[in-house]
Amino acid sequence: MSDAPGDQIVNGRKMAPIKVEILEAAANIIIENGYDGCTMRAVASRVGMKAGSIYYHFASKDEIIEEVLNIGSETLYNYVASELRRLPKHAQFAQKLRVAAAAHLHCLVGPEIRYLQVYDHLPPVQKRKSRRMRGKYAKLWYNMFAEGVWRNQVDPTVNLKVLVPFFLGALNRVPEWIHTADSRDEDVATLAVTTLLKGVARS
């Protein structure tokens, strides 16, 4: 079966342009007006269609939000994983960490940010819908740290179940202040990794 004319590729998946518009509109509305402000009527109005017509593309608001969350998480995972695969097979842990952190921040401050920002504006029941993909992404980081321990490049006494979410949580807050700090994402990634590896205290 041939693809529909004008299909767009969104994170490796073919999608009709109008669906992309709907998802982008929903993401922007949630960021601007919160979860409750994102109604099917509001989304339809944002993309210039009649309220009833939107149901031809998505059955419900929850389906739209779940798709937005999936695209954001998949984009982040795929980009970071692809950047890590570009490294030499036996790259040092510190190099992998710098590349992963820079890739993570690139996604957060790049054009995909609207999809990734939505998560913080959702009620807990909606957030749980992206738990599987977010868990898969966290495991990518956990495995990278665990390999560092195995190669004797990371302190084996560190609790990775605490360190990994702590480090990712810090990176996730960067978009809130990076522009006011007049910093580039590459610089912030370098600072974060250097601080993690060396600490800030003087011996």
Query: pLDDT tens digits for 13-66?
Result: 677 889 999 999 999 999 999 999 999 999 999 999 998 999 999 999 999 999
Pairwise pLDDT comparison (181 vs 133), residue with the higher score: 133
- For residue 11, name the pLDDT band (cuts at 50, 70, 90): low
- Which pLDDT does position 202 carry in this prediction? 56
What residue ranges do the domains of the chain occupy? 8-198
Separation CA 24–CA 46 (nearest Å): 10
How distant is the alpha carbon of residue 110 from its chain centre? 10
Query: pLDDT tens digits for 73-118?
Result: 888 999 999 999 999 989 999 999 999 999 998 888 776 677 888 8
In the chain, the N- to C-terminal Cα span, in Å, equals 66
pTM (2 decimals)?
Answer: 0.81
Please check whether residue 65 is in contact with residue 129, taking contact to mean a CB–CB distance below 8 angstroms. yes
Query: Nearest CA to 116 among 154, 79, 65, 69?
Result: 69
How distant is the alpha carbon of residue 90 from its chain centre? 27
Q: Which residues, at least 6 apart from 111, have a Cβ–Cβ distance to it below 8 Å?
A: none
Helix ranges restricted to H, the chain? 17-33, 40-47, 61-85, 93-109, 113-117, 124-127, 131-150, 160-172, 185-198
Which is the CATH superfamily of the domain at 8-198? Tetracycline Repressor, domain 2 (1.10.357.10)
